[in-house]
Amino acid sequence: MSLASTSDLVAAAVQNRCAVLAFNVITLEHAEGIALGVERAGAAALIQISENTVRFHGGALAPITAACAQIASASAAPLALHLDHIQDSALLDEAVATAPRTRCHLGDDRCGTSRCRRERGSDSRFRSARPRRGVVRRGRARSGGR
C-alpha cells in the first residue's frame, strides 16, 4: 500500500463513524511496531513525528521522516505521516522541502498550493486552528452539522 493522506484517513473515519488512531514515533522501532500493530488490528493510523523526536535524532528531520514514509509505504495498513505540534519555523520549512510526495491534508499534490494558503491564511506552513469537517477532537469525530 502507498503512503496515505491524512485527509483520506479522516474522511474514512467520518464515513465509518470511528476515530483516526495516532501514534508518536521516537525511533524506527516505534514506527515498525505501529505499522505491524495497525496491520494486525485491520485499522488505519497516523504516524506522528514531534519536535522532541527531531531533537532526539540530533535535529535531523529528514532521516526519521524518510524511514517512517518507507515503513508506511511498505505496510498493508493505510498509514499517513503527521508532524505533531511543530512550532519551529525552520523545522517547518525543512519539512515542506523534504516531505514525501503525497497529498497534503487538504488533498492537494503539495503543501503550499493556493488552496492550502487560503485555508491556512497567509503563512502556508501553518494549518488553521479552527476545527474543520471530519476533525477528530477528544475521541469523537465531528462531521458537518451533527
- pLDDT tens for each residue of 5-57: 999 999 999 999 999 999 999 999 999 999 999 999 999 999 999 999 999 99
How high is the pLDDT of residue 98?
Answer: 75
Distances (CA, A) of 4 to 77, 87, 100, 102, 123: 9, 24, 11, 8, 25
What share of the chain in percent tops pLDDT 70?
67
How high is the pLDDT of residue 101?
Answer: 57
> What's the grid cell of residue 106?
487538504
Burial 131-145 (b: 16+ CB within 10 A, else e): eeebebeeeebeeee
pTM across the whole model? 0.68
Residue range 78-97, pLDDT digits in tens = 999 998 888 888 888 888 77
How high is the pLDDT of residue 95?
Answer: 82
CA–CA separation, 145 and 137 (whole Å) = 15
